[in-house]
Chains A and B, each alone.
Chain A
Amino acid sequence: ETGVTQSPTHLIKTRGQQVTLRCSSQSGHNTVSWYQQALGQGPQFIFQYYREEENGRGNFPPRFSGLQFPNYSSELNVNALELDDSALYLCASSAGGERGYGYTFGSGTRLTVV
């Protein structure tokens, strides 16, 4: 059973650019969530996709957008990058959109905006 894989592992971008981060969910999981973790902080929820539809969103501006594909992999897109977007971006998958399933996290993508 493969876990959650994220790519790339590290990325350096210039302020104002756009970036796409990718995530392959664990086998059998149909729900994907994205989190932003600033240094020394707990992860903050960005949004979640269940069966290709966004079904929850945190307090992030519209320049943070995403997609989920039929194979349940996912992308996080960030436009007009700002210095404060520098963080560890974590993807998590779960077996169901509802209730009691736990989440499996990937190793993250470290984004640095300069």
Chain B
Amino acid sequence: KQEVTQIPAALSVPEGENLVLNCSFTDSAIYNLQWFRQDPGKGLTSLLLIQSSQREQTSGRLNASLDKSSGRSTLYIAASQPGDSATYLCAVRSVRAGGTSYGKLTFGQGTILTVHP
């Protein structure tokens, strides 16, 4: 059974800092890993999608890395801004027994990020 853990659970930083959010998963048989942002009471906004064959993806100030063999991913946010304050979720899409895609995403519990001016 796939389990996803995110550390830290909460993080508070001053504006301008570079920061790293961590995600670990127990089963390395994955198709991809996706990072999402969630504002309070809202849906999920996809930030980055990393395929299992990739090592990293970048979008603007965001960089996500994937080490499938060790079951780890990190989301790096450069020059943080108050508008980055949100909950960040990582989710993995696992390979089902028999090698087919299950489609199911397994989520971590998220990291609550607060960037103060």
**Do A and B associate with each other?**
yes
Chain A residues packing against B (C-beta within 8 Å): 4, 6, 31, 33, 35, 40-45, 48, 50, 55-56, 58, 88, 90, 92, 94, 97-100, 102-108, 110
Complex interface bits, B13-56 against A, C-beta within 8 A gives 1, otherwise 0: 00000000000000000011010100001111110010110000
Residues in B neighbouring A108, C-beta threshold 8 A: 42-43
- A31–B104 Cα distance when bound, in Å, is 11
Q: Determine the main DSSP class of B at the interface with A.
A: strand
From residue 87 to 117 of chain B, which have CB atoms closer than 8 A to chain A?
89, 91, 96, 100-110
CB of B109 within 8 A of CB of A103, answer no
Closest to B108 in A: A42
Chain B residues packing against A (C-beta within 8 Å): 4, 31-32, 34, 36, 41-46, 49, 51-52, 89, 91, 96, 100-110
